């Protein structure tokens, strides 16, 4: 990755959460299956649930629970999820080592995720990332969820940086679409819900072979 190809004036790196920073699919599947059990349905495998993660909780339940009662089932999901957050979530490879390097280089770090922000904030604390992540934006914080630009624009505003001063790092085509809509370069890593081929078809600004490739951002001047 050539330094010449990096964005000029970079001040911040914003991340998606599930599939980008953490593997939380077991926890999500457990809560989905709790909702399914309330409907008398058999459990789904984590792999079956995983492909529906990343587009918000309403999408998740509509695609994993036939004819859901959205309001009641969202409440069931949210009531159950704290019981499995810790046991069903882990940092993905390279994250624990890479984030401190970016922070030490003077980059501001934020999270912009369709996961409910209350769960993201709790996990950031559990995973000991609170000294690294300055801003967390979820679907509660903007009029429209990703791939609309609203959440990412809100994250930029809270970090006090412009769209040309940040990179958005995700694991899904929806993240590419969000970055494009907000005017933010989108870099992706194939550690989440979408395949590497789907990501290539989405035409991101950069496909990372591994999360730790982001350390190249620490080796340039930050303005």
Query: 3-23+90-219 is classed in which CATH architecture?
Result: 3-Layer(aba) Sandwich (3.40)
d(CA 167, CA 29) in angstroms, rounded, equals 30
d(CA 211, CA 42) in angstroms, rounded, equals 35
Residue 61, pLDDT > 80, answer: yes
Lowest-confidence pick of 1-10, 42-51, 71-80, 149-158: 1-10
pLDDT tens digits, one per residue of 68-106 = 999 999 999 999 999 999 999 999 999 999 999 999 999
**What's the pLDDT at 218?**
86
C-beta separation of 15 from 109 below 8 A: yes
What is the pTM for the complete model shown? 0.91
- The C-alpha angle with vertex 118 and arms to 12 and 45, in degrees rounded to 5, equals 100
**DSSP letter string over 111-173?**
EE-SS-HHHHHHHHHHTT-TTT--EEE-GGGSSS-TTSSHHHHHHHHHHT--GGGEEEEESSH
Cis (ω within 30 of 0) for the bond into 147? yes
User: Would you give the DSSP letter of residue 108?
Assistant: E
Extents of the domains making up the chain:
3-23+90-219, 25-83
Q: How many CB atoms lie within 10 A of CB 144?
A: 11
């Amino acid at each position: 990755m050539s330094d010449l190809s990096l964005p000029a004036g970079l001040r911040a790196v914003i991340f998606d959460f599930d599939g980008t920073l953490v593997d939380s699919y077991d926890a999500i599947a457990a809560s989905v299956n709790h909702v399914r059990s309330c409907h008398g349905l058999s459990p789904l495998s984590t792999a079956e649930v995983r492909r529906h993660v990343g587009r918000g909780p309403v999408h998740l339940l509509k695609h994993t629970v036939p004819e859901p009662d959205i309001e009641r089932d969202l409440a069931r999901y949210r009531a159950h999820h704290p019981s499995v957050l810790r046991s069903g979530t882990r940092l993905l490879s390279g994250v624990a080592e890479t984030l401190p390097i970016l922070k030490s280089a003077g980059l501001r770090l934020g999270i912009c995720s369709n996961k409910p922000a209350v769960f993201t904030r709790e996990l950031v604390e559990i995973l000991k990332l609170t000294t690294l992540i300055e801003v967390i934006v979820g679907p509660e914080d903007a009029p429209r969820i990703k791939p609309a630009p609203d959440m990412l624009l809100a994250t930029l505003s809270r970090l006090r940086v412009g769209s040309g001063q940040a990179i958005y790092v995700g694991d899904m085509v929806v993240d590419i679409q969000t970055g494009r809509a907000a005017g933010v370069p989108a870099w992706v890593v194939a550690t989440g819900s979408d395949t590497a081929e789907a990501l290539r078809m989405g035409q991101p600004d950069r496909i990372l072979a591994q999360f730790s490739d982001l350390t190249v951002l620490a080796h340039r001047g930050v303005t």
